[in-house]
Structure formats: structure tokens, C-alpha cells
């Protein structure tokens, strides 16, 4: 029997997602809606088998293995699995350096 997980979006992930959709909607509202549906469906599908996402390679190289990601080109949905839940932590542009983004967010959170 498969265990089901609750999928929870952090405030940061929701903000990331909102900015992505707003940015796309500036050029094409219909494309923004399609992207919205695709990312949302993939993220919420983690309730079934969250281990299918790969460990974030940049973090794994630093010995950090608790964060996984789904690639929904060109975005990366980064999440963490807890006992009975999956927490979506951020949605990032895969063309950007994830280490720089995470370091900036850590610095911003300390201010």
C-alpha cells in the first residue's frame, strides 16, 4: 500500500510561483495559464511518490541530501519530505545558479 503525503507550499514557493506566472502573463496570459496548470499538477503529484525527484545536485555536492527537486523545464521545484508531508520550498529558474539564489535568500532572511 502506498503512503500518501500532504503537499504544502511554503510562502516563499508560492511567491516564486506567482512571480513566474505574472512574468509569463505579461507576454501571454494563455501560456501563463498552461504553465500554471503544469507546474501545479506536477508539484501536487508528489503526494504519491515524492522520492521520485532527484536530490538537488548542487546541494548534494555540499553534503546536503534532504532536498529534492522536480524539473519542469525550465523551472526547478525544490522540496523536502517530512514524515507525512512534502513541503515545496521554492520554484526556481533552472537557468540560474541555485547556489547563488539560495545564498542570497539566506542573507536576506538574516536581515
Mean predicted confidence (pLDDT) in 50-68: 90
For 65-82, write each residue's pLDDT tens digit.
999 999 999 999 999 999
CATH architecture designation of domain 6-109: 2-Layer Sandwich (3.30)
- Tell which residue, 81, 90, 9, has the closest CA to residue 49: 81
- Tell which residue, 99, 74, 69, has the closest CA to residue 23: 74
State the pTM of this model. 0.88
Position with higher pLDDT, 10 vs 1: 10
Amino acid at each position: 500500500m502506498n503512503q500518501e503525503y500532504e503537499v504544502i507550499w511554503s510562502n516563499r514557493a508560492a511567491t516564486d510561483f506567482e512571480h513566474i506566472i505574472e512574468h509569463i502573463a505579461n507576454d501571454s496570459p494563455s501560456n501563463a495559464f498552461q504553465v500554471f496548470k503544469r507546474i501545479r499538477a506536477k508539484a501536487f503529484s508528489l503526494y504519491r511518490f515524492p522520492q521520485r525527484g532527484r536530490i538537488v545536485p548542487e546541494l548534494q555536492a555540499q553534503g546536503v541530501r534532504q532536498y529534492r527537486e522536480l524539473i519542469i523545464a525550465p523551472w526547478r521545484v525544490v522540496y523536502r519530505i517530512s514524515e507525512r508531508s512534502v513541503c515545496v520550498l521554492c520554484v526556481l529558474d533552472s537557468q540560474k545558479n541555485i547556489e547563488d539564489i539560495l545564498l542570497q535568500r539566506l542573507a536576506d532572511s538574516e536581515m
